[in-house]
Structure 1
């Protein structure tokens, strides 16, 4: 009996010790859990700036990558601007000088003069090609020259086309190298001719694709800007008054102006024709005098011959007249 009591007492002490250990471990775990929670909360509070910095760095990295990707793209840019300025020549010269300063050039230009009565004004355009990095600064410079009426820019991404051309060129060059190797190893004339013909075709394709690639690269490297320049046109004149409603003074002055213009036109015409008339009159007058001098001796000879013939005729007629007159005068004597 006593032994059973001892055994039960030992078991009760063990159970009590076990419960006490479990309670201590639970408190310790709670304390540790609280410490962990505090550590975690503290970690979260301190990690927020870290995560923000990481996000900012990621965004910066993405923007840099996007910028690099955009810089790696082959883009052709063409622009058109319409501006109104006070002086066409000054603006066109300034744009051309800007293009040359930036390493570009003027590819085309045109200017047209308009006239309305006494008013004149110019319109036209100038096309410049500038390096791609100078396209936007050139646009800004042009916009400062006058009033911008319209502005547009078109882009064409030819990156894929350039990549395709480069891949085709690589394949064609490799094929050309193989053909050259086969050409050196050929043993018959027929085989040499066949390889040479194929090699010539491949070389032609390479040159054609290289020309296309150079053209695209040139268009990518230099952007095109067409600037249409317009001077302000004069304001339209007042509506004309019908002719029958015009004042007498205005009609008289208009008529006098027309007479003056007509007279002045005649004088100007006469002045312009005077040298020609003098130049033409000299040979005409000289020719007439020459012909007159040659005809005078002939006229003298003809006059002498005619007078001689007339004198002979008169001498033969006089005796007849005297003979016929004599009987008439003597008839009275005979009668006496």
Structure 2
């Protein structure tokens, strides 16, 4: 009985090894996209940092986007309004300034001149974050600054979390591919291929989010609006003469608007006056005809005896 037991020992060890491999495959198919791998990673794959509860540590993972200062990942957005003499020409120059700074123009809308204004333009500028302030200072030289608003959003933790999840998924994929190579049963192959495809989709989605964050961090977004003097925001009068000048301008503008309204209504008033005169003449003529046809008292027949 001793010899058969020694013969079965290697087979039992091999069966245990295959069972553990099957359990690992099942664990891969049942875990979520951000979970860590239970076994050792494949050779050459990055080893994710596992916390005490089995989760991937948030402070690990490379941050590929270079940032000045303390290494924080900050998304900066802003809005800027300039009053210029020629908005369309200023828009072209603003695009040149942005391109010289290493940025690009993601959107451009131009408005043709209308009435007394010289038109307008609105540009969505993507400016490298490290030269944002110098570029804004250069844009200010195009005209008079009316309003400037900047806001910053710190996404350092979000970037670190994405990097950690991407690293864990890459390690998980390497492990699954190693099991896929070793699998011989057709059912295991089908299961592993399904899990690999699912993990690959999750990895590509996270990588797309990471690239989007990197682009928004490296290139700040500034919406630049260019308007003419005719549509410039009104300023509060600082002195009595400024108030008098604004009051006179308002009176002139009101008079101009009243003249325009009168010119619009005058043809309609003329047509309505002609129609009213025709109606009045027709009514008078009808009354006269009725009066001429009415019998007088002398022409009435005498009463019978």
* Residue 113 of structure 1, CA deviation: 2.6
* Residue 237 of structure 1, CA deviation: 3.4
Contact 2:87 2:119 in 1 (8 A): yes
TM-score, length basis structure 1: 0.49
* Residue 220 of structure 1, CA deviation: 0.6
Equivalent-residue separation in structure 2 for 1:238 and 1:214 (angstroms): 55
Give 3-state SS (helix, strand or coil) of 1:205's partner.
Answer: helix
Equivalent-residue separation in structure 2 for 1:238 and 1:162 (angstroms): 57
- Aligned pairs for 1:240-259 (under 5 A) are none
* Residue 179 of structure 1, CA deviation: 0.5
Find the counterpart in structure 1 of residue 79 from structure 2.
80
Structure 1 window deviating more from structure 2 (120-129 vs 75-84): it is 120-129
CA gap of 1:178–1:75, structure 2 versus 1, over 3 A, is same
Does residue 210 of structure 2 align to residue 194 of structure 1? no
Contact 1:85 1:147 in 2 (8 A): yes
Contact 2:91 2:121 in 1 (8 A): no
Find the counterpart in structure 1 of residue 151 from structure 2.
154
* Higher RCO (CA < 8 A, seq sep 6+): 2
Equivalent-residue separation in structure 1 for 2:113 and 2:210 (angstroms): 43
Equivalent-residue separation in structure 2 for 1:138 and 1:156 (angstroms): 20
Does residue 114 of structure 2 align to residue 115 of structure 1? yes
Could you give the per-residue CA deviations for residues 187-225 of structure 1, whole angstroms, max 9, x where no partner exists? Answer: 200001101100110111111100100110011111111
Which residue of the other structure, out of 212, 230, 233, is the alignment partner of 1:233? 230
CA gap of 1:104–1:240, structure 2 versus 1, over 3 A, is closer
Question: Which structure has the bigger radius of gyration?
Answer: 1
Find the counterpart in structure 2 of residue 27 from structure 1.
none
* Residue 90 of structure 1, CA deviation: 2.5
CA gap of 1:205–1:242, structure 2 versus 1, over 3 A, is closer
Equivalent-residue separation in structure 1 for 2:254 and 2:216 (angstroms): 50
* Residue 114 of structure 1, CA deviation: 4.5
Contact 1:122 1:230 in 2 (8 A): yes
In structure 2, list runs of 5 or more residues that go unmatched.
Answer: 1-66, 232-248, 268-305
In structure 1, list runs of 5 or more residues that go unmatched.
Answer: 1-67, 247-253, 256-336
Equivalent-residue separation in structure 2 for 1:164 and 1:242 (angstroms): 64
Find the counterpart in structure 1 of residue 166 from structure 2.
169
Total equivalences in the alignment: 177
Q: Runs of 4+ in structure 1 displaced over 2 angstroms?
A: 68-71, 113-116, 234-238, 240-243
CA gap of 1:158–1:185, structure 2 versus 1, over 3 A, is same
Contact 1:113 1:120 in 2 (8 A): no
Contact 2:88 2:121 in 1 (8 A): no
TM-score, length basis structure 2: 0.54
Contact 2:111 2:121 in 1 (8 A): yes
Find the counterpart in structure 1 of residue 177 from structure 2.
180
* Residue 241 of structure 1, CA deviation: 10
Equivalent-residue separation in structure 1 for 2:256 and 2:201 (angstroms): 70
Equivalent-residue separation in structure 2 for 1:240 and 1:148 (angstroms): 29
CA gap of 1:206–1:240, structure 2 versus 1, over 3 A, is closer
Does residue 127 of structure 2 align to residue 130 of structure 1? yes
CA gap of 1:93–1:211, structure 2 versus 1, over 3 A, is same
* Residue 94 of structure 1, CA deviation: 1.4
Contact 2:127 2:221 in 1 (8 A): yes
* Residue 103 of structure 1, CA deviation: 1.4
* Residue 238 of structure 1, CA deviation: 5.3
Find the counterpart in structure 1 of residue 95 from structure 2.
96
Equivalent-residue separation in structure 2 for 1:190 and 1:241 (angstroms): 83
